[in-house]
């Protein structure tokens, strides 16, 4: 027996809001979450799981980001609006400063080598650059310059781990994985790197600058090098040339393994 | 007459859950979210509360499934079992609300369009809104039985499990609930 009232009651069935599935999967830990934030290079998606930020990419199509993420990480990712404000603050800060700071970054899906490259890169302060070879040597693999480049090109969390601060030793910027290649110089300029100055040094094949008062040589963008007055600044084309001239390597930017 | 309410691939789903809860859980949410949300919405008359209850239901289901041995999961009548959790959350909310009668009634979202033509549809929509209001005024026993039977479309055996009442009681709750709704609708239209 079906009468009018039963038909009307059946019509009271409605679809669940779209947020239910993502919220449930995120809360159970079965999916990672992502939010959209702003950056110098435009809106970005930032994804995170239980152990920290897993990925950052230019905000484009949500479905594309989600399917790429699942393919790469082996876990679904869902967009969420409400995340703890403290986390959002840390994310925004990490993006604007270009270093993880207090933000946990989860690199566990990467190889030990990739992790070492990225951790070392995260130490480069804003406004400074280092050559690929520097990263290779610092992690104890001086011959792996090319592999360092590959690892940085696959940086899952650009901006937060500042792979834009690693450049070619000939003064060219090298590749950049986040959006347009021009984003790399754009980010560096935004941080106050003197791009013209760097280019001028590179065309003269100068790799290091030193101070004739301290007899210390640095990477040109090292904060100590930048403090040197122009009349005291000397230029070197190699570590050897600097050592030969009686200069020692800066202990902060470590152009060579400092004693 | 069916003894439990089938959902598409219910056996496959319980089997999959028994095999690997994490893997199969998203399918469970997809299969039952409209059920839970619709029922919760009609029992609370509050879209936000209904969404909260829906999400909380699945979180509790997930926790429980993680503790159950596989055989127990295989034997579950999923809809009835999940509704045990949801109905409790709805009832708790109804109780706390009944102590605050001034609570605002929020507009329910538009219901699914199942009829052709603008005019019959408009009439049906008004009727549904009216009915949704009247359900909320029924005592819990009747409201829960009517909603689970006729909005959510659960079998009596599942409703009995979900509400922890004998099947006979559920049937009479549905019957009396419908009678009351009919009487009220007639009273208004006369």
Could you report the per-residue pLDDT of B140-178, keeping only the tens digit for each? 999 999 999 999 999 999 999 999 999 999 999 999 999
> Among this protein's residues, is A250 annotated catalytic?
no
Position A46 scores a pLDDT of 96
Q: Which of A127, A114, A108, A120 is nearest to A153 (CA)?
A: A114
Nearest to A14 among B41, B147, B185 (CB): B41
Q: Is B109–A14 a contact, with Cβ atoms under 8 angstroms apart?
A: yes
A242, pLDDT greater than 60: yes
B178 to chain A: closest CA residue: A5
pLDDT above 60 for B138: yes
- B127 confidence band (pLDDT: 50, 70, 90): confident
Put simply, the answer to whether A10 touches B59 (Cβ < 8 Å) is no
What integer is the mean pLDDT of B46-59?
A: 96
Q: Which chain A residues touch B55 with a CB distance below 8 Å?
A: 20, 23-24, 27
Closest CA relative to residue A107, chosen from A97, A98, A115: A115
Mean pLDDT of A78-103: 90
Contact yes or no for B51 and A10 at CB 8 A: no
What is the rounded CA–CA span in Å between residue A156 and residue A48? 11
What pLDDT score was predicted for residue B190? 66
A112-199 shares the fold of A29-96: no
Instruction: State the average pLDDT over residues B83-111.
Output: 71
Share of chain A above pLDDT 70, in %: 98
Residue A259: its pLDDT value, please? 41
Say yes or no to pLDDT of B104 above 50. no
* pLDDT band at A210; cut points 50, 70, 90: very high
Per mean pLDDT, which range of B106-110, B119-123, B131-135, B162-166 is the poorest?
Answer: B106-110
Nearest to B151 among A10, A19, A30 (CB): A10
Question: DSSP code of B152?
Answer: S
Q: Percentage of residues in chain A with pLDDT exceeding 90?
A: 70
Question: In this structure, what token pair is assigned to residue B132?
Answer: 């949704």
Alpha carbon distances (Å) from A81 to A26, A64, A69, A76, A99: 12, 19, 18, 17, 24
For helices B47-67 and B78-98, the axis angle rounded to 10 degrees is 130
Mean pLDDT taken over chain A? 91
In CATH, A29-96 is 3.90.1660.10: no
The CA-atom distances, in angstroms, between A84 and each of A63, A135, A136, B15, B163 are 24, 35, 37, 36, 36
For A26, name the nearest residue in chain B, comparing CA atoms only. B59
- pLDDT band for position B98 (50/70/90)? low
The domain locations on chain A are: 29-96, 112-199, 207-249
Residue A258 in this model has a pLDDT that exceeds 50: no
Q: Which CATH class is domain B10-100+117-189?
A: mainly alpha
Largest Cα separation within chain A, whole Å, is: 102
What pLDDT, in 10s, does the model give residues A79-89?
A: 887 778 888 99
Task: Give the pLDDT mean for B70-98.
Answer: 91
Mean pLDDT estimate for chain B? 86
- Two tokens, residue B138: 């029924």
Going from N- to C-terminal start, the domains of chain B cover: 10-100+117-189
Interface check for B128 against chain A (CB to CB < 8 A): the answer is: yes
Confidence band for B6, pLDDT divided at 50, 70 and 90 = low
A80 contact residues in B (CB cutoff 8 A): none
The CA distance from A52 to A157, in Å, is 11
Domain topology for A112-199: Arc Repressor Mutant, subunit A (1.10.10)
pLDDT at B106 over 50: no
A3, A10, A14: best to mutate for the B interface, most B CBs within 10 A: A14
Place of tokens 């159970």: A28
The mean pLDDT of B67-90, rounded to a whole number, is 95
Phi, psi dihedral angles at A44 (to 5 degrees): -130, 155
Residue A15 with chain B: CB contacts under 8 Å: 34, 37, 112
By Cβ distance, the residue of A13, A15, A28 closest to B151 is: A13
pLDDT band at A215; cut points 50, 70, 90: very high
Per residue in B15-49, pLDDT (tens digit) is 999 999 998 999 999 999 999 999 999 999 999 99
What is the average per-residue pLDDT within B47-64? 96
């Amino acid at each position: 027996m079906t009468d009018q009232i039963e038909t009307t009651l059946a019509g009271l069935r409605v679809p669940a809001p779209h947020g239910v599935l993502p919220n449930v999967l995120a809360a159970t830990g079965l999916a990672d979450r992502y939010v959209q934030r702003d950056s110098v290079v435009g809106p970005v998606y930032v994804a995170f799981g239980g152990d920290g930020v897993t990925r950052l990419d230019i905000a484009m199509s949500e479905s594309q980001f989600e399917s790429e993420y699942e393919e790469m990480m082996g876990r679904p990712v869902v967009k969420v609006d409400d995340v703890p404000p403290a986390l959002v603050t840390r994310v925004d800060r990490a993006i604007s400063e270009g270093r993880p700071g207090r933000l946990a970054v989860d690199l566990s899906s990467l190889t030990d080598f990739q992790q070492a490259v990225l951790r070392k890169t995260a130490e480069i302060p804003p406004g400074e650059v280092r050559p690929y070879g520097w990263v290779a040597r610092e992690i104890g693999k001086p011959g792996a310059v090319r592999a360092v480049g590959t690892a940085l090109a696959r940086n899952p969390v650009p901006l937060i781990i500042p792979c834009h601060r690693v450049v070619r030793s000939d003064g060219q910027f090298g590749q950049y994985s986040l959006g347009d290649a021009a984003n790399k110089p754009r980010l560096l300029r935004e941080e106050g790197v003197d791009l013209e100055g760097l280019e001028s040094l590179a065309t003269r094949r100068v790799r290091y600058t030193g101070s004739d008062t301290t007899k210390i040589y640095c990477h040109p963008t090292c904060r100590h090098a930048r403090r040197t007055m122009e009349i005291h600044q000397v230029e070197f084309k190699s570590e050897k040339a600097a050592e030969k001239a009686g200069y020692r390597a800066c202990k902060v930017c470590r152009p060579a393994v400092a004693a | 007459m069916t003894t439990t309410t089938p959902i598409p691939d219910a056996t496959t789903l319980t089997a999959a859950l028994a095999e690997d809860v994490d893997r199969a859980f998203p399918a469970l949410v997809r299969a039952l979210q409209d059920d839970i949300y619709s029922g919760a919405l009609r029992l609370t008359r509050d879209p936000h509360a209904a969404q909260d209850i829906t999400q909380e239901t699945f979180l509790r289901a997930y926790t429980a499934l993680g503790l159950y041995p596989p055989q127990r999961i295989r034997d579950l009548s999923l809809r009835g079992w999940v509704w045990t959790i949801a109905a409790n959350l709805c009832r708790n909310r109804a109780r706390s609300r009944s102590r605050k009668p001034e609570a605002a009634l929020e507009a329910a979202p538009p219901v699914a369009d199942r009829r052709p033509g603008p005019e019959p549809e408009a009439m049906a929509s008004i009727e549904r809104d009216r009915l949704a209001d009247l359900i909320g005024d029924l005592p819990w026993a009747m409201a829960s039985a009517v909603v689970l039977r006729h909005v959510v479309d659960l079998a009596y055996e599942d409703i009995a499990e979900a509400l922890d009442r004998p099947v006979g009681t559920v049937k009479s709750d549905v019957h009396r609930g419908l009678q009351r709704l009919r009487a009220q609708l007639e009273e208004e239209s006369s």
